Chains A and B, each alone.
Chain A
Amino acid sequence: MRALGPQSVSSFLKIALDVVYVAAVGVAAVVGPMIIALLIATPFTHSPLEFKLSGQVWVSPFSNATLIALMIGVETYIVCLVVVLNRIRRIVDTLIMGDPFRPENVGRLRWIGTGLIVLEIATDGLRWLVAHLPQAHPTPRAGESWFNPTAWFAVLVVFVLAEVFREGARLRQEAELTI
């Protein structure tokens, strides 16, 4: 099976990416208004949040402020994921067209790299927040770190790949202008 062009591996990858992208946009569209609703409807306090569901009172294990902070962290994560997925989809579009060395792909790869940085920071922030909740939650054991070298190496690889694409686009333009 071919890697580039229509009816290739890239086409199937695009379908999978589209599904994940739509799901991520859906989650972001749900969580965003929930944060706004929480900010408007409840006071920003450290007291536990109470919900009245069909006559019964349900008390949240987290305070209102913690819940909002968690949701903002999750929303940041999902929005970054949407940005990264969107750029990957556009790059895959150029793969399907059989023409990946386009100058636009350089900017897209840089966006992906930046998005991965924000994703990693958001993940660490969420882990920190969850670890400092009053309930028992997993915290890093002695000698264990939140720092994920694989993720940061991936960020570096994406930025290097962006430079490779820049050089590829330049060479392609030069070949086009060689008569």
Chain B
Amino acid sequence: MTVKIRLDRMLFERRMSLSELADRVGVTTANLSILKTGRARAIRFSTLDALCVALDCQPGDLLEFVPGRLDDLNDTES
């Protein structure tokens, strides 16, 4: 199974840049970039909470479950 993050789509819908979101959430742009490109291994509840507040959305709007193996995702990352 794989869980993908749809941060780029949410940013586009909110007409918001990554650096602006980084300022609002209090996470570095580099870390948000890791999250956006799907290289992150895990996300803290506090980060998810801050993202939801900044983007005015629900966690389900940010995360998407795609059936498949986690190894497949790791392979594509590396």
Contact = CB atoms under 8 A, between A and B. Distances in A.
Contacts, number: 23
Contacts of B32: 179
Contacts of B42: 174, 177-179
Contacts of B43: 178-179
Contacts of B47: 179
A58 B33 CA distance: 76
Interface residue range, chain A: under 10
B29 to A, nearest CB: 12
A177 B39 contact: yes
A179 B31 CA distance: 6
Q: What are the 5 closest A-B residue pairs judged by CB atoms, nearest first?
A: A177-B41, A178-B42, A179-B35, A179-B40, A179-B31
A173 B41 CA distance: 9
Given A177-B34, A179-B32, 11 more contacts: A173-B41, A177-B39, A177-B40, A177-B41, A177-B42, A178-B40, A178-B41, A179-B31, A179-B35, A179-B40, A179-B44
A173 B77 CA distance: 14
Interface residues of B, number: 12
A179 B29 CA distance: 11
B39 A178 contact: no
Interface in B13-30: 27
A31 B31 CA distance: 54
Contact of B44 (A173, A174, A178): A178
A178 B31 CA distance: 9
Interface in B26-69: 27, 31-32, 34-35, 39-44, 47
A116 to B, nearest CB: 33
Contacts of A174: 41-42
Contacts of B41: 173-174, 177-178
Nearest to B77: A177
Interface in A147-179: 173-174, 177-179
A162 B32 CA distance: 33
Nearest to B25: A179
